[in-house]
Chain A
């Protein structure tokens, strides 16, 4: 079945460093969403990307949807301790249906 892999699985950064997580799907995604889950918390919606090659920014966060709509990335500039958590991408699988498939997640730790 379709898989959505995220790399890296874990990332430790010093506060102030940049961070990027990549989301790769085995098939084309109709659109993609990103969520953040703090330790002990629930996923919180961050953004949705729909168009091929789309780039969206939210303050220090930059989201990108690949041209082939099979991959996406989330980049955080100058990480802060509040960025700690697991970042998930989610896509619609297979295209044309409405079944959610979540990526494997990237757990970010920020060292002060």
Chain B
């Protein structure tokens, strides 16, 4: 069974731009969560989607948004990029929402110049 797929793997943007990251969950998994990982802040929860609805949200500004499609694929958008948004963005899928064992993708490495 294919794992969680994230695209693109690497991205370079400049301040003020916006970016969209994509995540395809494991087949049959209906929940998708997004995380930001940085050396300084560690792994931080962004949000979780289930059945096209945002179920939980972390403490990130409104510039970070996401959505989920009917096939459970998810996208995350970051607008007005700042230098501090440079990070590894990880997507994780699980069968159900809530505190379920999560399967992570390899992430998208976003660099802001």
A-B residue pair count with CB separations less than 8 angstroms: 55
Number of interface residues of A (CB under 8 A): 22
Q: How far is the CB of B16 from chain A (nearest CB, A)?
A: 29
Shortest Cβ distance from A46 into B: residue: B101
Number of interface residues of B (CB under 8 A): 24
B85 interfacial by beta-carbon distance below 8 Å: no
Which residues does chain A contribute within 8 Å of B44, judged by CB atoms?
102
Shortest Cβ distance from B102 into A: residue: A45
B43 interfacial by beta-carbon distance below 8 Å: yes
| Segment of B17-25, B66-74, B76-84, B104-112 engaged in the interface with chain A | B104-112
Q: Are B48 and A102 in contact (CB under 8 A)?
A: no
Contact with A along B22-40 (1 / 0, CB 8 A): 0000000000010100000
Q: How far is the CB of A14 from chain B (nearest CB, A)?
A: 27
Distance in angstroms between the alpha carbons of A66 and B35 in the assembled complex: 27
Distance in angstroms between the alpha carbons of A1 and B56 in the assembled complex: 16
Which residues does chain A contribute within 8 Å of B98, judged by CB atoms?
98
Distance in angstroms between the alpha carbons of A34 and B48 in the assembled complex: 19
Q: Are B43 and A98 in contact (CB under 8 A)?
A: no
A31 interfacial by beta-carbon distance below 8 Å: yes
Q: Is the interface of B mostly helix, strand, loop or mixed?
A: strand
B8 interfacial by beta-carbon distance below 8 Å: no
Distance in angstroms between the alpha carbons of A42 and B55 in the assembled complex: 23
Q: Are B55 and A98 in contact (CB under 8 A)?
A: yes
Q: Are A43 and B99 in contact (CB under 8 A)?
A: no
Q: Are A42 and B99 in contact (CB under 8 A)?
A: no
Which residues does chain A contribute within 8 Å of B87, judged by CB atoms?
none
Q: Are A42 and B104 in contact (CB under 8 A)?
A: yes
11 CB-based A-B contacts, threshold 8 Å: A31-B99, A42-B90, A45-B101, A88-B43, A98-B97, A99-B58, A100-B33, A102-B35, A102-B43, A102-B44, A104-B42
| Shortest 8 CB-CB contacts between residues of A and residues of B | A102-B43, A42-B104, A100-B45, A45-B101, A92-B99, A98-B98, A98-B56, A43-B104
